[in-house]
Structures are given as C-alpha cells and as structure tokens.
Chain A
Amino acid sequence: MYMLKYIMKRLGLLVMTFVIIEVICFVLIKALPIVINVGIGQDRQIIIAQLTARGYFDPIPVQFWNYLKGIFTRGDFGICYNLPEYRNQSVVEVFRSKLPPTLLINVYSSLIAIPIGIALGIFAALKKNKWEDQVISTTVMLFISVPSFVYAFLVQYIFCFKLEWFPLTMLAGYDYFSPDMFLSMLPAVISLSFGSIAGYARYTRAELTEVLTNDYMLLARTKGLTKAQATTRHALRNAMVPIFPSIVGEFVSVLSGSLIIEKIFAIPGVGGLYLMAINAQDYDSFMFLSGFYILIGLLASIVIDLSYGVIDPRIRMGAK
C-alpha cells in the first residue's frame, strides 16, 4: 500500500512538474515573433495564411487552448512549417520517422556497454589493488573523463578512415536492420559505449568492493562456499541493488540519444531533428521535442527510484 501511495504521489508530482514546464515553454515560445523561412517554390503569403488559419497569430491563451484541444482531440502537435525537408508534415509523424535510428543506436550501445562494463567492474573488484585493478581503474578514469565526441573523432578517423572498416557516416535509408546499415551504425555505437562501459565498470567496482568486505561474506566462506559461489550468490546480488536501477534509468534515457554523436555520424535521429528545429526556429517541433526530452528526464528519475523498491524488498519508499 505504501508503495502504491508512493508511486501515485511521485506520478502526481511528475505530471505537475511536466505541465508547469510545458506551460512556461509554450508561453516563452509563443511570445517570440514567428520566423518564416521561405523555401524554393513556396509562397510566403500561403504560409502566413496557413499559420493564420492554424491560429498562430491569436492571443497566447487562445493558442494554448487550441494547442491542448489539438493534442487531445486529434493528437495534433503542430506542423513543421519551417523545416525545409519536412515542410507541412505533422510533427509527430516526423518524430516517429526519426525515432528508430536513435533508439537502435542507443539500445545497441547499452547492450554492448552493460555486460562489458559490469564484467570489468566485477573483475576489478575481485582483483582489488592488484595490477589488473590498477589498469582497469586508470583506464576507466581516462574513459570517463574524455568527452564522447573525442572518441567519436578517434573512432571515425581510425576505424572508418584509416582502416576502412566502417563507412564514415551512417547510411541513408530506412532499412534499419540490414547488415550494411548495422555496420554503418557501429562507429556511433562504439563511440557511445566507451563512456557507458567506463561508468558501469566504476560503479560496479565501487559497490562490489564494499559488499565484499561485509561480514556475511566471511560467513559465506566459513560455511564452505567457494569464493565463486560466495561472490555470485551473496556479493553480486547485493551489489546489484544500486546497479540495477541505474541500468533501468539508462534504458529510459536511451530514448533521448546523444546530440553530438548523431551530428558527427550524420545519424538521421531525434537529436538531428532537434538541432534542425532549433536552427530553423521551427517552434512546433521545438516545443514537441522539448516536451519529449523533459518527459524522458522526469521518467528516468522516477523509474530509478521505483526500481529500488522492486529489486530490494527492504527498501520501501515513502514508508513511515
């Protein structure tokens, strides 16, 4: 019951925070003068007429009402009237078409990073203060500190250009699961993984080292378990309590992707769309994507908190 109440409370707060931010964003965006980029074969008058018809020159409260009405009655988040490539297309449609590459790349990178990172962390913790641990810890420090775009440059230069293993940028097209496409995604995936691997390794090592010094580990050994048995059954499980939520959180924030990596490898993803919207001042898509990113951030934090309760019954949030 406590749990349910806690979840409801958290969700309520989330919705409230989200709505307030969205309203502020909406007002700030609508307070701006509308910028119209006229493309080839386009008539300014027509665009203005179109925007007028959509009510873009109404007072802000009216616009807000219309915006809400559009969302809840038609699922209409507006149109990309300023993006040359997606002129007059629905924001949601464009977003949907951009989601798969972002999602795929981040899921792949998580799939690579989680096992490797955790394995390295466990290894380092077991070999604590030996040379293996020193090497791993130093490398991890290095990889955590160096910005991801620097790896991206390195990967692009070494693997894509010098060794020619992969194409320089991601292939165009929508066939996301073909082998060629997978190959072309790999540089981005690898560049993204470096940081995550280091992060997981460091976190796992820290947690596991602490757990390994506990008295119950001694007990486990004393009662006759081998070191491997004791580690997997007792130490790892307990170490996973804080690690697991962070993995869950990572998976939620996977949706948002990385703007820089997408730019470097020309990935036609959400990040690229967001940058395009910002540069072209396409307010509708900016508004929608901002909402998306805010929601992802809020959701990630709530999911992390909740998963603590799920994985470890001793932790019950909100319990008095």
Chain B
Amino acid sequence: MRPEELTNLPKEKFVLVNENKKLHDKELVTKPIGFFKDAMHRFAKNKGSIVGAIIIALLVLFAIVVPIFSQYTVSYQDTYYRYTLPKLFTSENIDFLDGGTKKTLNEASFIYYYSMGAETGHNAVKRQQYSKNDKDMYTFRLDTYQQTGVVFKTVTKEEYESIQGYQDEHNVQIIYPITDPSLRPSQNQDKNNANYWYKTKVNGSVTVPDEYVIHEDGTITFTNIYQEYSKPVLDSVANATEATPIELVPKEDGYGILLNTLVTTDENGNDLETPIFAKAGYLRVYVEDDVNCSEVVEEIDDGSTFQFNTTYNTLVTYLTGHTVPSKDGYHYFALNRITGTAANLIHIDVIGSDTYLPFYLYQDGEVVTSPVANQQYFFSANRQKSSEKDYYVKSINRGTITLVDNRNTAAVFTAEEVEGGHRIYLPGLTAGQKSYVTAVAQGDRNNISTSIVASAASTFQFDAANHTFKITINGHTDTSYDGEYYFLLNKDTKTIYLGKSTEVDGTNVLYLPVVNSGDLSPVSAIVDQGTYKIGDIITTITDNYYYINGTFKGDNYTSKMRIEGEGNFKYNYAIKKDGANYEIRINYAEYYLYYHHAVLHDKIKTAHFLFGTTANGQDIFTCLASGARFSFIMAIAVAAVNMVVGAIYGAIEGYYGGKVDLVMERIVEILSAVPFMIVITLLKYHMRGSSQVLILFIAFFLTGWIGESGLVRMQFYRFKNQEYVLAARTLGAKDWRIMFKHIFPNSLGTIVTSSVLVIPSMIFSETSLSYLGIINLNSGSMTSVGTLLANAQPYLVTYPHMILFPAIFISLLMLCFNLFGNGLRDAFNPSLRGTED
C-alpha cells in the first residue's frame, strides 16, 4: 500500500473491535503471590544458597544436639588423656582416624611404649607391630589412648578395696604389681614413671638387669620383672611383728628416746671435740597434703643446701659433711632456719617469669649478683656483718614464694640475731597452713601483713613407702626449735642416723617433737637397744616388716585379679604410704573406666574422643559444639536487638529528615568511626567485674545497629514521598502508623538480609577477640570457638588436630552464611542480583 493511500482512508474501512462483546476484567487465574513467598521462590532456585542453608542447619543442629547427648561436658578434663588424637574408627585394622599416630623413635623410646602392651595387654604400640630401619630407628603406630600406660596412684583404704571389688566384678585388671621405691631407676623422671617396670633393679643389686631382648624374628621379650622386684615371702610374720618399737618417754615438751649411753669419746678415750656426722644422707620434708611428692635427692657437695622444690611443694634438704653444725649449734636441717654459717645455702627455684628472685646474692655482705628471672640462685646466709640487710617477700602463696628485692616495698623478712650469726625463717610451704615466716609489713601501700607464726606441732613420722622420715612441718615447737638433734635416713643403707641429743638427769635424751595429730604415729622404726654415739647407726630397718606376703599386714583383701607370684616369690601389690593410704600401680585406661563407672557414676562409658582432646584434656567435639552454641545464641540475640534498635533509629532519621536527620546522622558517623577494638577494650576496662559475655553483648550492640539504621534510613528516604504515603497522611494517619505500617515493610527484605549477614561477622569478631585474648570466654563450663583456636595455637606444629576442627568449623560456617546471605539478598532484591559486595 502506498503511503498516500494510507492518509485518506475512508471511514467505512474502519471496523470496531469487539463490537458485539463487552469488555470485562478478566478474572485472575493465579493467586497473588506475597512478597516473602515470591522471595522464597527465587531463593529456592539458587542452589548454592540452598546448600549453604542446609549446612548451616546442620551446624546449628550440631551445636544444639551434641552438648545434650555427649558423654563429656566442657568442664570435663582429664590430664592423662591430654593431646589425644581424633578417633573415629575403633577397629584394630584401620590406621586412619583411630586415635593413633605414626612415630619413628629410637630404641629406648620405642621400648618404653612397647613395654606397656607387653605387661598389661593394653597396646600403646598398635598391634605391637613395628619396623626397624638401618639407622636403628623404630617406626610404629602409637595409640594415644594407651600412651599413658600405668601410673602410680595413692588411694585411701576404701578406694583400694573398691577398686579390688570392681576388678572382681568386671573381671578386669586395674592394679598391677608395684615396684619397690628403692629399686626404681635413680633418675627422677624415671623413678616417678610407673611404666619403667623393666628398668627395675634386682633386689639387693645396684645394677639394672638386661631389661629386654629383641629377638631375631622381631619379638621382644622382657625379663620377668615381677620376679625381679618382688620380695621373698616371709617365713614367719611373727618375727617382724614382735620387734619392739622404740620406747618413747613422755617429756614436758614432747617425747624422749632413752639411750643407754651416749659415748662422746673416741677409741682412745679422749673426748670427741667434734663428733663425726654422717657423710651422706638426706632428709625429706613433705608438705602435709602432698602425698604424691617425691623429689630430687642427689648427692651434695660440702655444705647443706635447702632447696625449695616448687613442683612438688616440698622442701628438700641436703645434708652432707656436717662438721660445723655441732659447734655453732644452729643446724636444723631444713625445717625452719638458716643459721649464720657461711656453709648454709638457700636455694630457691624461680618458677615463672613473673616470679621474682628472692634475694640478691650476698657474699660476705657484698652484693655479688642481682636477680635475673628464670634462673636459680644461691643465697649465702652469711650476714654476720650486716644487720641492715632486709629481705622482702612479696607474697606467700601455696608454696610459691614471691619476694622482691629491697627496692620495692613489701613484707620484710627480719633477720633475727642469734648466737653466732643471724637467721631468718624460711617462708611457709603450703597455702592456708601455718609456716614459719615472720614477716613484718612495711610501707604505706599494699600493706601486706603476713605475720605467720609457729604453731601446733611438728611431727616426725617414718614413711614406710619411701623409707624416709616424713616430717610434717606444720608448725614448730620449742622442742624442735632448740633441741639439738636430727634424724637422717640413708635410703641406700636403710639406716637411721642419730643427730645430737642432750643430757638430762644423767641420761641422754633425744627429744622427739610432740605428736598431736591422732592419725600420725610417732616414729615407728625398730630400734635396737644399745650404745650409740652421734653419727652411729641406730637401727637397721627390716624390709620384712613392711611387706608381707605381697601385700601389707592388715590388708586382708584378696582380689582374684591379684597376680600370684612364681615359685618362691609373691608380688607387692601395694605400698602402704602413711596413715591409711596405699600407693598402687594402675593401668590408667582401666582405672579411667572404673573411676567413671563406679565412683563418679557419670555418662562416660569409654574414653573416646571424636575430635581428640585439648592440652587440658578436654573433649574437642563437645567443646566445639558448646562454643558454637554460645556463638549462635549470642549472634542471634545481638542481631535481633540490633534489628529493632536500628530499625527504629533509621525510621526516625529517614522519616523526619532535616535537622533531626542531620544530628542523628552525626551521632552515627561518630559511633561508626570508632573501631570495634576500642569499644570493647574500653568496656572491658570499665566493666571489670562483669561477665565477659555481657561485655561482648554490649560492645556488639553499641556498634552493631548502625548498619541497620543506615539501610532503613535509605528506604525511608526512597518511599516517604510516594503517593500512597501522601494518601495515608491525607486520610489522617499518624506518623507512627505511616512509618511502620506503610513505609517500613518496604525495607523488611533488606533488613532480613543484612541481619543474616551480620551473624557470621559477629561470630568472626567473637572468634578473633577471644583469639587475641581481649575477651576471655574460657571459664570452667564455657568455651568459644575462638578460645579453642587460641589455646591450640601453641600446638599447631605438634598437635594440629586441636586447631583443625575449630578452624574447619568456623570456615564452613562463614562460607555457608555468605552463600546463604547472598542468596537471600538476591531473593529479596532481584535488582541487585549479580552485583556482589
């Protein structure tokens, strides 16, 4: 058709559309879809987000379910099951995630682990399989659940019987024969390690027998240790029991031991000017409540040294070559004083970097060395010249002596002038107990008035287990204070040396300290009556008295799990320590089960840690779940509060605009410019006493709502001038109604999205803060993912599993939340799709 034809169309050519039909609104075929439903439809199409949402749901489920059903709790910890590796498979044949790790060690270390399985059947070396390379290194799979092996444990009589009852009932063996303390390896760390049964000396010999033989075919046999360290059965128990104990004569201040004659002359009849003392010996001083201690006892050079053993809270005294003491008369071996003699040294271990060295080192009154942290020092007690020397104790706390040098004001040790020199009292040994420190407070600040004086009584008790005297230095009487005597026990020869006694009414009397505690008995050694001079052996202690028939006199319990001896031998089943306590040797894995089944009656059925344990022996699986639970609850609570506050604030800002907006926006600007770290630190400083959770919550709240308010404000600016708002206002709607009924729903999608996205960032912040140590959520029954990570970092190289699981958890959580959040955002605001960030 040509254009000119189109211009002049005749009227007839036009036909009306729908001439015969009426126009109708068509009925809607489909139902209208709501905003949220529409968003959900879009969300469901995003596969990544769905996966993210599912994983988040699983993680939440993990956080809720695990703390409820786990047999462990956060507060559970077991020091013998520290550093345990993750265990998923219990089968013997799977070498993956079985709680084991491949180790390549030298022969000595390998045998150490191998011997565990050889003795108890609880294999620390998995399947007892190993391979040896040409460099004599042994490769094997170490089962970390069995690496503790056997341990020494001191139990009460009731526990002892309870364990035996359990053994019979369940037909398991917990208690294994114990080694004689005197026959254990001499090195300290070996002596206290119950696993060195194969290193036990043969009775009466000083050498260790061939401990084990590695055969050609790879099998390893151990020397029959039970026989080696067992004691012969007594022919007659009566011999032992009939031995007369030393006779104690009550005296005014204590007890006296009557000695027939005290010879103070030599063979030629001349008076001994200087009595000869034992050349070697040691005296152990135990702290009363520490029954497990056993400390270094070494050969000493000239001079007595007093050493405070901080590990065991004991005072170790070394006495050798005492020629001087009897002359000056102020030697009380460790118990409580330092005499003015130059030969005496006090030796104090410095424990941590925050413990200060007690003294400057003085030599003849001159400063020789200044204290440096983490070193050992000897303090010369020779202060005969000086009366101005004051020593400062900073605090006395459970065996840790914190003293500061004399440029800081604290409690002062006052040196007391005595005949022949000066002396000070040693600091106290245990918390809450009496000690000998006479500390006088000085200075105006931090007035430490540590005025602890001697009280009650000292008790000397023979410790059968270790063949030593147990000296309970809980207070000190005048008797032991001034009496010139001492006991020494030589462990090798098992003899007591007598120190010095005094003459009373023509008889020489040795004073024993007063015994005032009912369950402590006086010296219970057998002393032959006879003639003694100072330095002489009073008595020889017979082993037989202490070991009877493989156990103790008075221990009438016979468990069927007891290992009977072979031939002429019976095994020592326990060693009676002091009072009613027994030292036993137990397999820890079995004991653990006994302890949880029969003593605690808790949920723990077996030692099985899915994700391994921490350095404190906590179950990582449970800790992670409850840390996560905490994080989720915290994050959701904060997000909810922030959403409400931010929405209201943003609504007011956006709706009213103008000056209101200007002022409120300045406030927001200032608040948002403050780094979160500063907010939380200031809060922490100011809320010193409050719980860390509260601090964290407030800090999150203070800065968290700002983002929400900005979003809401923007939406309000966008919608407040729209016609429907105008219509609402014309109809007389109140501001509040317009804001929250008409405008606010528009911003709902944005708010929901941002609230979801805020949750992972909050969890991340919480994790970072606990990791940096700014917030400490690690209390007895609570932990957080960040705390787990922070505590595990020192073990990254040695025990990576501790860091692995929390790290995986937090990474997974962040990833899924991001996926989920992005999906939500796309769903709510389709226009933003693709423009990430």
Please judge, given known A-B contacts A40-B373, A150-B810, whether A145 and B800 are in contact too, CB under 8 Å: no
Q: Are B678 and A25 in contact (CB under 8 A)?
A: yes
Q: Are B767 and A41 in contact (CB under 8 A)?
A: no
Given contacts A21-B673, A40-B405, 19 further A-B contacts (CB under 8 A): A17-B669, A21-B670, A21-B674, A25-B678, A28-B686, A38-B408, A43-B408, A43-B409, A44-B408, A44-B446, A45-B409, A146-B815, A147-B811, A206-B836, A260-B771, A275-B773, A278-B677, A297-B675, A298-B673
* 0/1 interface trace, chain B 340-377, chain A, CB 8 Å (1 if under): 00000000000000001000000000000011010000
Q: Are A145 and B670 in contact (CB under 8 A)?
A: no
Chain A contacts for B682, CB-based, 8 A:
25, 28-29
B759 to chain A, nearest CB (A): 13
Chain B contacts for A203, CB-based, 8 A:
836-837
Please judge, given known A-B contacts A147-B764, A149-B789, A206-B836, whether A32 and B685 are in contact too, CB under 8 Å: yes
From B678, B681, B685, B803, contact of A153 by CB (8 A): B803
Chain A contacts for B407, CB-based, 8 A:
41-43
Chain A contacts for B404, CB-based, 8 A:
38
Q: Are A161 and B408 in contact (CB under 8 A)?
A: no
A212 to chain B, nearest CB (A): 12
Q: Which of B789-837 contact A (CB under 8 A)?
A: 789, 793, 796-797, 800, 803, 807, 810-811, 814-815, 817-819, 834-837
- Which 10 residue pairs across A and B have the least CB separation, nearest first? A145-B815, A146-B811, A145-B814, A145-B818, A290-B678, A150-B807, A293-B675, A161-B797, A43-B407, A278-B681
Say if the beta carbon of B445 comes within 8 Å of chain A: yes
Chain A contacts for B673, CB-based, 8 A:
17-18, 21, 294, 297-298
* 0/1 interface trace, chain B 222-258, chain A, CB 8 Å (1 if under): 0000000000000000000000000000000000000
Say if the beta carbon of B637 comes within 8 Å of chain A: no
Say if the beta carbon of B774 comes within 8 Å of chain A: yes
From B677, B814, B834, contact of A146 by CB (8 A): B814
From A31, A156, A278, contact of B774 by CB (8 A): A278
Chain B interface residue count, Cβ-Cβ cutoff 8 angstroms: 48
Q: Which of A25-68 contact B (CB under 8 A)?
A: 25, 28-29, 31-32, 38, 40-45
Chain B contacts for A156, CB-based, 8 A:
796
Say if the beta carbon of B326 comes within 8 Å of chain A: no
Say if the beta carbon of B310 comes within 8 Å of chain A: no
Say if the beta carbon of B323 comes within 8 Å of chain A: no
In the docked arrangement, what's the CA distance between A43 and B392, Å?
A: 13
Chain A contacts for B675, CB-based, 8 A:
290, 293-294, 297
Q: Chain A binding site: helix, strand, loop or mixed by DSSP?
A: helix
Q: Are B767 and A147 in contact (CB under 8 A)?
A: yes
B620 to chain A, nearest CB (A): 15
In the docked arrangement, what's the CA distance between A57 and B280, Å?
A: 60
Q: Are B405 and A41 in contact (CB under 8 A)?
A: yes
Say if the beta carbon of B768 comes within 8 Å of chain A: yes
B36 to chain A, nearest CB (A): 26
In the docked arrangement, what's the CA distance between A248 and B96, Å?
A: 49
Q: Of all chain A residues, which has the CB nearest B685? A: A32
Q: Of all chain B residues, which has the CB nearest A301? A: B673
In the docked arrangement, what's the CA distance between A190 and B481, Å?
A: 68
In the docked arrangement, what's the CA distance between A47 and B408, Å?
A: 11
B50 to chain A, nearest CB (A): 15
From A13, A44, A286, A293, contact of B409 by CB (8 A): A44
Say if the beta carbon of A229 comes within 8 Å of chain B: no
User: What are 17 A-B residue pairs whose CB atoms fall within 8 Å in the complex?
Assistant: A28-B682, A40-B371, A41-B405, A41-B407, A42-B408, A145-B819, A147-B814, A153-B803, A157-B797, A202-B837, A206-B835, A259-B677, A259-B772, A274-B677, A275-B772, A293-B677, A294-B675
Q: Which of A261-275 contact B (CB under 8 A)?
A: 263-264, 274-275
Q: Which of A135-160 contact B (CB under 8 A)?
A: 141-142, 144-147, 149-150, 153, 156-157
Q: Of all chain A residues, which has the CB nearest B680? A: A278
